Structure 1
Amino acid sequence: MRQLYVYMNDLKAGVLTENTSGKEYTFCYDENYLSTKNPSISVTLPKREESYKNEYLFPFFTNMLPEGANRRSICRSLRIDENDFFGLLIAMADKDFIGAVQVRKTTDD
């Protein structure tokens, strides 16, 4: 199982998880974030207590990744499969993303 913390404007908004087989992804809002008036991280992931589940990495998160030649170059240099979107997201974690949403490594990584 691989996990990343998701932050919105430097406040922990939730946890993104890939299960061990890599065939299910969940995003769960942090209960403290739910109690604030802060917005959802995305219109496609509105704030709610129930976890979001999907067999593919949520498009909101894949859209945070580099594309084209940049993706190929990064994947080649870090030895990450170009189709391992979660692995690439982990590699990009703690870096400077565009926008209010950031992903950060968990303390287990």
Structure 2
Amino acid sequence: MASAEKRKADVYFLEVFAGVLEETGAGYRFTYDPNYPVNGGRPIGVQFPLSQAVYEFEHFPGYFDNLVSEGWLRRTQSQTQRIAEEDRFGLLLANGRDLVGAVSILPSKE
């Protein structure tokens, strides 16, 4: 990534704000919002049990990686949005509002 600024994404599960996925100097981090479990939230996936733990990854987490488009659709998104095909997080930020399933990913409001 050319910029020193790290990107963040708001993660929603069944249209309820669940937590934040962000780039770090060492890779990536996912953290549940403290209010999410209190308000009856459910785990977004098996890899992320409900916890106040910080989930740290050296590489883009497989759970989120599997939400990124593949094949011709990824190529098309990459070309039309001018995002490198290898920039999985960038593609997820640009296209995460319209995912199949219960999870949505939107650029962070912070």
Fold shared per TM-score above 0.5? yes
User: Which of 33, 36, 47 in structure 1 is aligned with 2:36?
Assistant: 33
* Distance apart, 1:38 and its partner CA: 2.5
Listed as ranges, the gaps of 5+ residues in structure 1 are: none
**Counterpart-to-counterpart distance in 1, 2:49 and 2:36:** 12
**Counterpart-to-counterpart distance in 2, 1:78 and 1:105:** 15
* Pairs within 5 Å for 1:11-30: 11-19=16-24, 21=25, 23-30=26-33
Q: Deviation digits for residues 69-88 of structure 1, max 9, x if unmatched?
A: 11111101111111111111
Q: Which residue identity does 2:12 align to in structure 1?
A: Y
Equivalent residue number for residue 88 of structure 1: 91
RMSD: 1.3
Question: Does 1:67 find its partner at 2:59?
Answer: no
Q: Secondary structure at the match of 1:60?
A: helix
**Counterpart-to-counterpart distance in 1, 2:68 and 2:88:** 8
Conserved? CA contact 2:31–2:53, under 8 Å? yes
Identity %: 36
Conserved? CA contact 2:18–2:41, under 8 Å? no
Conserved? CA contact 2:29–2:56, under 8 Å? yes
Equivalent residue number for residue 50 of structure 1: 53
**Counterpart-to-counterpart distance in 2, 1:9 and 1:101:** 6
**Counterpart-to-counterpart distance in 2, 1:90 and 1:29:** 18
Moved runs in structure 1, 4+ residues, more than 3 A? Answer: none
Equivalent residue number for residue 4 of structure 1: 9
**Counterpart-to-counterpart distance in 1, 2:83 and 2:99:** 19
* Distance apart, 1:36 and its partner CA: 3.2
**Counterpart-to-counterpart distance in 1, 2:61 and 2:48:** 9
Listed as ranges, the gaps of 5+ residues in structure 2 are: 1-5
**Counterpart-to-counterpart distance in 1, 2:42 and 2:93:** 24
